[in-house]
């Protein structure tokens, strides 16, 4: 591999989604430590760009819009004019690999074929990096960053998760300790039943004397309202806001409970104690990357990553199991 210039240009590609971007932040910090004078850009979907606002390790955030071909072509043209020395594809999809290849960089780095969700993406890579199949996504991303290391001392991992500051005008939802929960998820198989979230917050109120806050994204109002309806009105409320609101909510919470979702990984990155309720996704690979975390998963659940699966497996996780994990992680 050719020597990477100390003042070279690097493009990181991780376009989405929330949790995946959070799990790529240490790779950016590691590259910055190794190449303090390099220009390190990050390509991300416009929808998620706020996650990188003010990131001290990124020189420039490049954005593209989903499903907009003219905008995509303009973005690729802009990237080509940057004349990158290296592009690192952390996404591992055919779309991201195609963009990486079209940038005209001197070197394109990506995962080995077996580690890719869309294996034809490997065609775009001049260098493929072997990673343990059961490694956490954070560790896989760090392996890609290390592939750019020049001869000499090994690159040092920098385990930093810089996130934008919380909204300064957001008052705490409750004056003291409170539990935050985020009940929604992208797939049915990753959603713990709303009724169980409701039972959990009622039990936390009764036995731990903590009120609860339900994080609510667009279109999730009915789900959040069903959960809050099972609690005393003055002891549970819905918070519906933007990224800064979510960060403020998670940062101030005494603990955070959710499935395998972006808000869970935001809370873990902030150092908030978290309890993760898992179904068919692999906690070793996709769990919260934090020592202040517990994962609850029913015995015998098969790891499938099937987006068409139902919620039967995750529904087998009991309120009692989640409650005891919560007590343990906050002790």
Q: What is the pLDDT of residue 167?
A: 54
Q: What is the pLDDT of residue 108?
A: 97
What single string gives the DSSP state of each residue in 19-63? HHHHTTHHHHHHHHHH-TTSEEEEEEEGGGGGGGTT-TT-SEEEE
C-alpha span between 131 and 180 (Å, rounded): 34
Q: What is the pLDDT of residue 53?
A: 95
57-111 pLDDT, tens digit each = 999 999 998 788 888 899 999 999 999 999 999 999 999 999 999 999 989 999 9
Residue intervals of the chain classified under CATH 3.40.50.2000 are 9-146, 179-329
- Identify whether the C-beta of residue 215 lies closer than 8 Å to the C-beta of residue 180: yes
Q: What is the pLDDT of residue 117?
A: 87
Q: Where are the alpha helices (DSSP H) in 48-113?
A: 69-80, 94-102
Q: What is the pLDDT of residue 231?
A: 83
In the CATH hierarchy, which top-level class contains the domain 9-146?
alpha beta
Low-confidence ranges of the chain (pLDDT < 50): 1
Given phi > 0 = left and psi -120 to 50 = alpha, else beta, which region is 198?
A: alpha
- Identify whether the C-beta of residue 204 lies closer than 8 Å to the C-beta of residue 241: no
Q: What is the pLDDT of residue 246?
A: 93
131 backbone dihedrals φ, ψ, rounded to 5°: -130, 145
Q: How many CB atoms lie within 10 A of CB 306?
A: 14
- Identify whether the C-beta of residue 146 lies closer than 8 Å to the C-beta of residue 27: no
Q: Which two tokens stand for residue 18?
A: 């929330």
C-alpha span between 154 and 152 (Å, rounded): 6
Strand-pair category, 179-182 with 212-216: parallel
36-57 pLDDT, tens digit each = 999 999 999 999 999 999 999 9
Q: What is the pLDDT of residue 2?
A: 59
What pairs with residue 64 in β-bridges? 45
Q: Where are the alpha helices (DSSP H) in 209-254?
A: 221-228, 243-252
* CB burial readout 80-108, b (16+ within 10 A) else e: eebebbbbbbbbbbbbbbbbbbbbebbbb
Q: What is the pLDDT of residue 183?
A: 96
Q: Tell me which residue of 227, 292, 280 sits closest to 255, measured CA to CA.
A: 292
CA distances from 151 to 4, 7, 26, 37, 109 (A): 10, 16, 21, 17, 17
CA distances from 129 to 40, 92, 97, 323 (A): 20, 11, 14, 40
Fold assignment, 179-329: Rossmann fold (3.40.50)
Strand-pair category, 127-129 with 107-111: parallel
- Identify whether the C-beta of residue 155 lies closer than 8 Å to the C-beta of residue 34: yes
């Amino acid at each position: 591999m050719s020597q990477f210039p100390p003042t070279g240009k690097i493009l990181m590609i991780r376009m989405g989604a929330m949790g995946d971007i959070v799990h790529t932040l240490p790779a950016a910090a590691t590259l910055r430590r190794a190449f303090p004078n390099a220009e390190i850009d990050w390509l991300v979907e416009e929808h998620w760009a706020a996650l990188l606002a003010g990131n001290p390790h990124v020189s420039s955030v490049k954005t593209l819009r989903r499903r907009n071909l003219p905008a995509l072509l303009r973005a690729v043209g802009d990237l080509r004019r940057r004349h990158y020395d290296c592009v690192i594809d952390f996404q591992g999809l055919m779309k991201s690999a195609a963009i990486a290849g079209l940038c005209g960089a001197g070197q394109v780095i990506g995962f080995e074929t077996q580690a890719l969700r869309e294996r034809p993406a490997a065609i775009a890579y001049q260098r493929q990096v072997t990673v343990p199949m059961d490694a956490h996504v954070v560790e896989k991303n760090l392996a890609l960053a290390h592939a750019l290391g020049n001869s000499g001392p090994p690159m040092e991992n920098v385990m930093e998760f810089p996130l934008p500051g919380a909204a300064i005008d957001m008052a705490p939802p409750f004056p003291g300790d409170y539990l935050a929960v985020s009940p929604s998820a992208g797939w049915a198989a990753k959603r713990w039943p709303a009724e169980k979230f409701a039972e959990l917050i009622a039990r936390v109120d009764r036995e731990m004397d903590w009120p609860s806050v339900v994080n609510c994204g667009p279109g999730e109002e009915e789900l959040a309202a069903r959960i809050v309806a099972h609690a005393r009105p003055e002891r549970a409320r819905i918070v519906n806001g933007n990224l800064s609101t979510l960060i403020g909510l998670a940062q101030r919470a005494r603990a955070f409970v959710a499935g395998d979702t972006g808000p869970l990984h935001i809370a873990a990155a902030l150092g908030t104690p978290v309890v993760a309720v898992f179904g068919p996704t692999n906690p070793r690979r996709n769990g919260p990357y934090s020592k202040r975390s517990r994962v609850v998963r029913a015995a015998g659940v098969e790891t499938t990553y099937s987006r068409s699966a139902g919620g039967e497996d995750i529904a087998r996780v009991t309120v009692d199991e989640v409650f005891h994990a919560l007590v343990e992680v906050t002790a």
